[in-house]
Chain A
Amino acid sequence: QLQLQESGPGLVRPSQTLSLTCTVSGGSISSGGYYWSWVRQFPGEGLEWIGYIYYSGSTLYNPSLRSLVVISVDTSKNQFSLELRSVTAADTAVYYCARLPAGREFDYWGQGLLVTVSS
């Protein structure tokens, strides 16, 4: 059974960089056919797709965040990561990693990690 698990700090200072990692178990990121994504959920429950990465390293980002986001992959560790720079309080959210097959539906999700941006 595929599992995804987010990890990283739960508190980030304003203007700093938010860095999270998603560890995939029960399957290989390198198997192909899947796009490894980050999605966040704001306190009011709205969901926002941040971007995805393919195992080859190709990425696609939400244009609303493109200049602030970097998603990377480490196939040797079966992990992919998110960096969101210059954060503000508006970036406070639960951050999820999720798998997006070519069929274009999120079929597996991590449990989510609450990240609070505050001084």
Chain B
Amino acid sequence: DIVMTQTPLSSPVTLGQPASISCKSSQSLVHRDGNTYLSWLQQRPGQPPRLLIYKISYRVSGVPDRFSGSGAGTDFTLKISRVEAEDVGVYYCMQATQFPLTFGGGTKVEIK
């Protein structure tokens, strides 16, 4: 199985300041079809996960442009340019390049 490792576990951020989450995979996520199936999910308290970004950097319709994804191969990053109160929650990376699908352990974003 591909192991997904996220850091940090927790990210206390001041409102309006940026936040960055790292996700590293135990092997390359480049699929033989040329795509990299790395997505980011947001889970607000008491809610199911919500898809934010797919294939590294494609933002889902309706997701604010303060969210951006980047990376390649085994190293990926989710950035929030200016954290707002509604961004509080746990963020997960997920790989779908190889089955079984696997998730990172999650990063909690909270307001200082």
Listed in ascending order, the chain A residues whose CB lies under 8 Å from chain B are 45-49, 60, 62-64, 96, 100, 103-107, 109-112
**What count of chain B residues pass the 8 Å CB interface test?**
23
Given A105-B39, A109-B48, A112-B48; A49-B102 close (CB under 8 Å): yes
Collect the chain B residues with CB atoms within 8 Å of residue A111's CB: 48
Consensus secondary structure, chain A interface: loop
Collect the chain B residues with CB atoms within 8 Å of residue A48's CB: 103
Collect the chain B residues with CB atoms within 8 Å of residue A100's CB: 96
CB distance from A1 to the nearest CB of B (A): 12
Are A107's CB and B99's CB within 8 A?
A: no
* Chain A: CB-nearest residue to B101: A49
Are A107's CB and B100's CB within 8 A?
A: no
With the chains together, A106 CA to B96 CA distance in Å? 10
Given A47-B92, A104-B37; A109-B50 close (CB under 8 Å): yes
Collect the chain B residues with CB atoms within 8 Å of residue A103's CB: 37, 54-55
CB distance from B94 to the nearest CB of A (A): 7
Chain A CB within 10 A, most for which of B41, B50, B100: B100
With the chains together, A60 CA to B49 CA distance in Å? 22
Collect the chain A residues with CB atoms within 8 Å of residue B103's CB: 46-49
Supply 14 further A-B pairs (C-beta < 8 A) apart from A46-B106, A104-B96, A109-B49. A46-B103, A46-B105, A47-B94, A47-B106, A49-B101, A62-B99, A62-B100, A96-B49, A100-B96, A104-B54, A104-B97, A105-B55, A106-B41, A106-B49
